[in-house]
Amino acid sequence: MSDVEKITGKCALRGEVLLPGDKSISHRAAILLCLSDGQAKVRNFSQSEDVWSTVAVLQALGGQFERAGNGIIVRGFGARGPVQPNAPLDAQNSGTTMRLVAGVLAGWPIKTRLIGDESLQQRPMKRIIEPLSSMGAVISGTQKGTAPLEIQGGNLSAIEWQLPVASAQVKSCIMLAGLRARGRTIVTESPVSRDHTERMMKYLGINLDEKYNDNRHTVALEGFQRLQPHDISVPGDFSSAAFLISCALLCEGSLIKIKNVGVNPTRTGFFKILKSMGARVELENKREVCGEPVSDIVARYSKLKAITVGREQIPSLIDEIPALAVLATQAIGTTRITGAGELRVKESDRLKTITVELTKMGAKIEELQDGLVIEGPVSLKGATVSSQSDHRIAMALAVAGLIADGETIIEKPECVSISFPNFFDTLSFFKK
């Protein structure tokens, strides 16, 4: 991929595609199958850089992986536990890798060091350091509560933990540690975050108790249960699909179908928001695969209206807010997004970055402390913009470029490989 990506718009998108496997589910499949005794295959395994960071870390801990077509075969270390690595474990740019693997490492009597790239070392880790320390792990980070993390695991005791900020990564970290803790580990969150870990643990034989009360979710599990190695089929990544859907909604004359996409209700807040905006987007061929709901998504060009998005909706569409910001520039009225402060500690400060870059293209967008205010519709103009090495920002700017007058040049486009390596090729396919 070149140092820049050039986007020209004003054309219809048509066709149907299958997307690479869901990144979040692929992370969890690799980790949970490594904790099982035996061998299993993961079909449609994500090819994103983040997921391969998880694989590399698990290999250093004794897990075995073999590529098989569009999937992998996993041979877990299971009850033997991970081996003592002879070097730091590098999560690269992946917060999911660092936080979930930390939960695994907390339960075993080995000493490890988890590192990451410059971006990852700016992201908050106190949110896992505190619960894992309460369970009995010896874990520390920098004075700012960031990586690198030093972990001495083993001899854990169960805890009851209320998440101060809803986070599937933190919840999953505590649950993974809970598999090796004496007693019953209980985690409560509000609002509800994505539940891929819970679904996959159940699919692999773990007994979980879950309770829902309004927008409050509690999950509990007993320690020292054994995971069973079952084959897993990973659906297409909904967060990746969201950017293609956005392109179709905004480009006049477009009609696309994205097949075999995961539509887990804790991930599809973006779909519900689109319907509220008047988008012509539908789910077809609904079914369940390996514990996850799956569907084909059909999206057509649509006239959109503004929407208000609040804190309780954010966890189910956190990755799609950059795309939503672009859609809002073309919606009639004022779109207001609040409760999204978590976006400031992603690969970039996404609230600031999307504001700065869309403003270059003529958007009327205001950055709030925890959100955005966007006026629409406006005519966007091609410009030179930067992804700031953030994959979601790069894809959002590509969506904007498709409807802008003139040419849009995106700097640092290669970051899309973090989640959707073939994103620009897929856009070119739809434009033919």
Q: Please give the angle made by the CA atoms of 304, 306 and 308, to the nearest 5 degrees.
A: 140
SS3 410: strand
Distance CA 385, CA 356 (A): 9
Question: What is each CA distance from 280 to 124, 274, 304, in whole angstroms?
Answer: 38, 8, 9
Distance CA 234, CA 231 (A): 10
Residues 6+ apart with CB under 8 A from 214: none
Whether omega before 164 lies within 30 degrees of 0, making that bond cis, reads no
- As a whole number of Å, the end-to-end CA separation of the chain is 20
Residue 319 annotated as catalytic: yes
Distance CA 315, CA 101 (A): 22
Amino acid at 247: C
Question: What is each CA distance from 174 to 69, 79, 102, 136, 177, in whole angstroms?
Answer: 33, 19, 9, 12, 5
Distance CA 113, CA 103 (A): 13
Runs of H (alpha helix) within 62-156? 95-105, 126-135
Q: What is the CA radius of gyration of the chain?
A: 21
SS3 371: coil
Report yes or no: 169 and 176 within 8 Å, Cβ to Cβ. Answer: no
Q: Which of 319, 349, 370, 405 is catalytic?
A: 319
Instruction: Please report which helix (H) or strand (E) contains residue 160, including its range.
Output: strand 160-162
Distance CA 55, CA 51 (A): 6
User: Is beta strand 71-75 parallel, antiparallel or unpaired with respect to 39-43?
Assistant: antiparallel
**Which letter does DSSP use for residue 70 in this model?**
T
Residues 6+ apart with CB under 8 A from 370: 338, 339, 340, 341, 351
Q: What sign does the dihedral 347-296-21-49 (CA atoms) show?
A: negative
The residues that are catalytic are: 319
